[in-house]
Structure 1
């Protein structure tokens, strides 16, 4: 029968995860399991100390500084979350995702150690990111369709009201009942459309965030491109701009894009035909700034102080009669704050409105001892 230590060693060596123990104090690997050689074909465990700089070069350039900061924080005991890293040894090799679970500890002789495991999670990440992309496109398409479908119903309701006024002189109860049915059907249809879309957003505020490092520039550009495909449906023009090709932030992908989607939805509601709606993202040293701007009818000054209140008095129908629950802006602010960010706006009647979202980026790590 195998001894407990021998059995444990056998389990470590046969696992798909690569287990490691690294001495921060001595800058060398004390233990590395066999799975490391399966994760990196051609690599050898006994050469790991010499290979460490090369392994860092396997990360895309945008990720290398991020990885250095994370491992510095781990070494200093300041980071307790798992890491998700992209790896691509060469351009002709498909990109892979590695999950790193590690924690800092001290040995009996005072050495600072990092111990943990590395696992290839490429399949899981590709599935999740495809799902995120689908969800983002689904939410954007729902917003476009909701405005496109609600418009004709609102127009029919207004026509029914006009016809009702003109036919009152006939004093025909049957005609009045039929007109009333038309009005009720149109009103209920618009309500059903908006309730369906709003429920998608309101339900999300009650779910715990799952934040990962995401390229906001790429995600927002994809969202705006979906809106651009529906420009002819809502009679608006959409544009996107970014100060950098890649802008990274720690966000819950679906929930943050729902925030931007709802800001876009509001912009569509209160922007006249042939108006312009612009989404932008800016990279700053200590934060990321996201903007959603329109040249619509603006928000009356008297409503500014209460816009983010729960069941706010600032709720008002859109230009096509779209209803408002009064919860949308409150939930937007709640989700932004859950991300550790803040949101504010500038608006002037008949000029337009600009919403700004400030997302802090992690501070530089304290150097490890």
Structure 2
């Protein structure tokens, strides 16, 4: 489709390859004089059909947004500078999509020109963040309430335990220790279940990539683990290879991947072990390695490790539970980034997970 004399002069080479939808609409003939190829990807409709019947395009606007779009069109015709508008479209056999459109009025010859883009992913991501923010206080209230019971029990029982030990009541002390252990497990399981649920809910949004410094992002994330080395009994090493590595990444989801891999490494690495994260920048990709000195993965589980509810699920060395979903989620997120994940492991010699992700 080429521009005629009434169309806005676009940098055609750029417009023809752009992901944004560029358009020019002749108000005299009431026809589109230009639509770039990106239009067909967003609307799933041929440019030729819309050029022949422009009203067909308005029919795709969601019924609840038609008045909003009409009002913006009239404002534009009356010379009012219109800010970018957002509305939904519904194309047959396709889900509802959100569109952001920016248009300008050209006086001579009279035409409307502009661009639009599919912002469905951004809208869903923003909704998720808002939901998370609104939920934060409620979650903290729930956790503080539900953890108050086990923690109060532990505090009270600790005083009784100290008293019994002073008086040499070993059997009574052992009984109190069992209660303290059960109360601690109750609180721990509550937190683990909450974190697992939050991780699974995060899977409901699209990948939202942005340019990030992977070295700094992972470094900030690992600080929390490095500060708990005395508690976990493991030593953490971070070997980025370079001071900065920039790439296009959904850093929130990718940190979930690392968190899950490190969580597994903690479960299956004995006290005194080591966990290392290594980054290697290549020409078009970045290779991330997570290595532990743990007990390894038995060979019979290698082929099914990334399956949902895999038979490879097993409790950690200290009895930590597993539902068998973690590795499946990790693989999904890596693939969403058009990356690959694989591993090498031998029993009693540790495990290394490799993830190679395109930089753009």
Task: Pick the TM interval, shorter chain.
Answer: 0.5 to 0.7
Q: Alpha carbons of 1:303 and 1:286: their partners in 2 closer, same or farther (altered >3 Å)?
A: same
Q: Does 1:333 align with 2:331?
A: yes
Alpha-carbon shift at residue 116 of structure 1 (Å)? 6.7
1:164-313 → structure 2 map (5 Å cutoff)? 185=183, 187-313=185-311
Match of 1:77 among 14, 17, 26: 17
1:22-37 → structure 2 map (5 Å cutoff)? 24=11
Deviations 1:55-99 (A, max 9, x none): xxxxxxxxxxxxxxxxx9x46614449xxxxxxxxxxxxxxxxxx
Deviations 1:99-144 (A, max 9, x none): xx999xxxxxxxxxx9779xxxxxxxxxx9xx9xxx9xx9xxxxxx
Q: Is the 8 A contact 2:334 2:341 kept in 1?
A: yes
Unaligned 5+ residue runs, structure 1? 1-20, 26-71, 82-100, 104-113, 118-127, 139-148, 157-176, 363-369
> Counterpart of 1:323?
321
Q: Alpha carbons of 1:206 and 1:243: their partners in 2 closer, same or farther (altered >3 Å)?
A: same
> Counterpart of 1:57?
none
Q: Is the 8 A contact 1:205 1:334 kept in 2?
A: no
Runs of 4+ in structure 1 displaced over 4 angstroms?
Answer: 21-25, 114-117, 177-187
Q: Is the 8 A contact 1:282 1:290 kept in 2?
A: yes
Q: Distance in 2 between matches of 1:356 and 1:115?
A: 44
Unaligned 5+ residue runs, structure 2? 1-7, 22-99, 103-112, 117-125, 137-146, 155-174
Q: Is the 8 A contact 1:306 1:314 kept in 2?
A: yes
Alpha-carbon shift at residue 191 of structure 1 (Å)? 2.4
Q: Distance in 2 between matches of 1:22 and 1:293?
A: 55
Q: Distance in 2 between matches of 1:102 and 1:361?
A: 29
The 3-state SS of whatever aligns with 1:194 is helix
1:40-119 → structure 2 map (5 Å cutoff)? 74=14, 77-80=17-20
The 3-state SS of whatever aligns with 1:205 is helix
Alpha-carbon shift at residue 206 of structure 1 (Å)? 1.6
Equivalent pairs, count: 217
Q: Distance in 2 between matches of 1:78 and 1:320?
A: 54
> Counterpart of 2:344?
346
Q: Distance in 1 between matches of 2:225 and 2:248?
A: 24
> Counterpart of 1:9?
none
Q: Alpha carbons of 1:192 and 1:339: their partners in 2 closer, same or farther (altered >3 Å)?
A: same
**Structure 1 length-normalised TM:** 0.51
> Counterpart of 1:125?
none
Q: Is the 8 A contact 2:20 2:115 kept in 1?
A: no
Q: Distance in 2 between matches of 1:229 and 1:22?
A: 58
Q: Distance in 1 between matches of 2:252 and 2:101?
A: 27
Q: Distance in 1 between matches of 2:292 and 2:344?
A: 11
Q: Distance in 1 between matches of 2:188 and 2:101?
A: 52
Q: Alpha carbons of 1:22 and 1:299: their partners in 2 closer, same or farther (altered >3 Å)?
A: farther
Q: Distance in 1 between matches of 2:178 and 2:239?
A: 47
